[in-house]
Amino acid sequence: MQRIKEPSVCQRRGKDSSTMTNVLDYMKILLRMPLHQPTLSVKNVAHMFKEPYIISGYRPTNKPWSYYFLSFFQLHNESVNVWTHSLAFVLVLTQLYRLSLSIDFATNKDAATIIGFSIGALIQTFLSSACHLLHAKSPWWHYIWFLLDYAGVTFNSFGTGLACFYVCSHKDVYGLVESVFLPFNVLMSWMGFLSCCIAKLCFKDPYSKARKLLMVSALGSQAFLVGLPVLARYVPCIVDDECRLSSLTHLHFVFFFLISDALTFSTHFPEELKPGHFDIFGHGHQIFHICTLITMMVEMEAIKTDIVSGATAHTRPDLTSFLMAFAVLIVVELLTLVSIRGLINTKVKEVLSASKSD
């Protein structure tokens, strides 16, 4: 019987080396991948993909999914939008970890609100990054991803509402509306989502000021109403000499950046001044993303400040109720998406038809 010869040590090393070579080859391919892939001008993309005053940097449609995932590492007019909210996702997780070190999540009742706020922020930043990275795949996916992005915005609005009411609210206002606040917050979040869907799908002109006004009004109304219990804390500091407005500095910063978010979302500055000069870096939506990133960090610091100072003594947050409310909001918004799928298909056909006739 012939004895089978065992592979030598050198041969075994050869196989291992071959595997390592393949890994290195893939790494070299990634490293050789150009930072600036060829992109399209605004004249060569369908109307739905065009952004006001952005002349270049558009990615082509109908490429493999891998093309859009790898575009994370390349320069185009969505790169900074993707990077900023990816960074925001990491920073929210980091801040959540830092808070867990200073606040005992196992025993502190306010941990429920911190977790609720963080869930909303993480969902928004994840869906926003995914939207800006992947929406160019096709006209249909463009609308799907942006509607999911709006869902993420309303989840963040819902989480912010939890923080406003269960951490930063005035004691008397909290007592008046505690029993109805959670369902009201769900309702306002869903109405904000529905308004954004209408704005995206029902306006013929995607650059219409009325469209932007509808979105800002819907989300701004929720921000104002859920912020009223926080604004009530300013009244004693105005009428009572023993209370100083400086004690609410952490809230000043939150309101300042929330207003900044609305302004930077509503305008197209600075690209409106010099179209084509801010296509890759510095256009208004990128500034909006940076403002929202800062807002989330400031909000988490404000939450920590009020918890440490004892401003939450009158609240009774419940994580189970928060998670159930999140689940209801998710189901309702998914059902909304399913119910308007015909409208999405109609809108895609309409825009493609308009693009062919241009």
Tell me the pLDDT tens digit for each residue of 18-68: 666 666 665 555 556 666 678 999 999 988 899 999 999 999 999 999 999
Q: Taking the model in full, what pTM does it have?
A: 0.89
Residue 38 lies in a domain: no
Handedness of CA 130, 136, 137, 141 (dihedral sign): positive
Q: Does pLDDT of 241 surpass 90?
A: no
Residue 228 in any domain: the answer is yes
CATH number at residue 223: 1.20.1070.10
Average pLDDT, the chain: 90
- Answer with the residue of higher pLDDT: 4 or 61: 61
Q: Could you give the CA distance from residue 151 to residue 128 in angstroms, rounded to a whole number?
A: 10
What value, to the nearest 5°, has the Cα angle with vertex 183 and ends 178 and 184? Answer: 80
In whole angstroms, give the CA distance from residue 15 to residue 175: 71
Q: What is the pLDDT averaged over residues 326-338?
A: 97
- pLDDT at residue 13 in the model: 47
Kindly give the interhelix angle for 111-134 and 284-309, rounded to the nearest 10 degrees.
170
Q: Are 266 and 212 in contact (CB under 8 A)?
A: yes
Pick the residue with more confidence: 271 or 208? Answer: 271
Q: What is the pLDDT of residue 9?
A: 45
Q: Establish if 126 belongs to a structural domain.
A: yes
* Helical axes 111-134 vs 319-339, angle rounded to 10°: 30
> Is 140 part of a structural domain of the chain?
yes
Q: Averaged over 190-197, what is the pLDDT?
A: 97
Going by C-alpha positions, the residue among 344, 323, 330, 358 that lies closest to residue 182 is 323
Residue 238 in this model has a pLDDT that exceeds 90: no
Per-residue confidence band for 129, with pLDDT thresholds at 50, 70 and 90: very high
12 — pLDDT class (breaks 50, 70, 90): very low
Looking at the structure of the chain, the number of domains it has is 1
The model's pLDDT over 274-302, given as tens digits with 9 standing for 90+, comes to 999 999 999 999 999 999 999 999 999 99
Rounded to whole angstroms, the Cα distance separating 296 from 93 reads 11
- In whole angstroms, how far apart are CA 242 and each of 29, 78, 95? 66, 50, 33
Write down the residue that tokens 């799907």 correspond to.
144
Let me know if residue 35 belongs to a domain.
no
Using the predicted structure, report yes or no on whether residue 351 has a pLDDT greater than 80: yes
Place of tokens 């009530």: 232
User: Is residue 216 predicted with pLDDT exceeding 90?
Assistant: yes
> Is there a domain that residue 92 lies in?
yes
Q: How far is residue 185's CA from residue 96's CA, in Å, rounded to a whole number?
A: 23
Handedness of CA 69, 293, 333, 194 (dihedral sign): negative
Q: Is residue 191 part of a domain?
A: yes
* Domain span including residue 283: 52-65+77-357
From CA 300, how far away is CA 322, in angstroms rounded?
A: 18
